[in-house]
Amino acid sequence: MQSEKLSPFWQSYLASLPADFPIPAEPYPASYFGDSAALAHELGELVAAGIKGGTTGLLKGYEADQEPLPVAGTREIVTEFDGTPLCVIEIMDVEIKPFREVDARFAYAEGEGDRSLAYWREAHIQFFTRECAGYGWEFNEEMLVVCSRFRKVFPE
């Protein structure tokens, strides 16, 4: 998702770094959260506000789309659905586990709804059921998910 909107934003981010900070390599990753413009906006705003500090994706989805898994230490631009940049995050850690093993601490870190595990499970079962249907799969709680924790690093 490289666009004319992203390059100036990335350059502003780079200009904000201390002179001795190692400059992240380009091309820089950029993506939105969710599967619609409304959800991307809602989740992007939570990230930009520093509330959302985690995300979960189906491992099988990453594999089917031949998308690289998130890597700790990587920085990326979070965007709106249309590619408008919102902020830069740094991936702090990544863990792969069955959906059923995601705990309340991670659900809270995701920062969605009331931040409870019950809310997280309901929202993610709905989301992953939609995602699986698009691939012709059936969601189940044994499916492996990629749980990434991150922190917003720009703008401060």
Q: What's the pLDDT score for residue 5? A: 84
Q: What's the pLDDT score for residue 1? A: 46
Answer whether 55's CB lies under 8 Å from 150's CB. Answer: yes
How far CA 25 is from CA of 14, 44, 69, 153, in Å, comes to: 11, 23, 17, 16
Answer whether residue 92 is part of any domain.
yes
Q: What's the pLDDT score for residue 3? A: 67
Q: How many Å apart are CA 80 and CA 68, to the nearest integer?
A: 21
Answer whether residue 116 is part of any domain.
yes
Average pLDDT over residues 75-96: 95
Answer whether residue 43 is part of any domain.
yes
Q: What's the pLDDT score for residue 91? A: 96
Tens of pLDDT, residue by residue over 106-138, are 999 999 999 999 999 999 999 999 999 999 999
**Residue 24: exposed, middle, or buried by beta-carbon count in 10 A (0-12, 13-18, 19+)?**
middle
Answer whether residue 114 is part of any domain.
yes
- Residue 22 belongs to domain spanning: 6-154
CATH number of the domain enclosing 32: 3.10.400.10
Answer whether residue 59 is part of any domain.
yes
Tens of pLDDT, residue by residue over 13-22, are 988 988 888 8
Say how many domains are in the chain: 1
Tens of pLDDT, residue by residue over 25-80, are 666 789 999 999 999 999 999 999 999 999 999 999 999 999 999 999 999 999 99
Answer whether residue 131 is part of any domain.
yes
Answer whether residue 1 is part of any domain.
no
pTM of the predicted protein model: 0.90
Strands in 99-143 per DSSP E:
none
Answer whether residue 39 is part of any domain.
yes
How far separated are the first and last CA of the chain, in Å rounded? Answer: 23
Q: What's the pLDDT score for residue 25? A: 65
Q: How many Å apart are CA 133 and CA 142, to the nearest integer?
A: 16
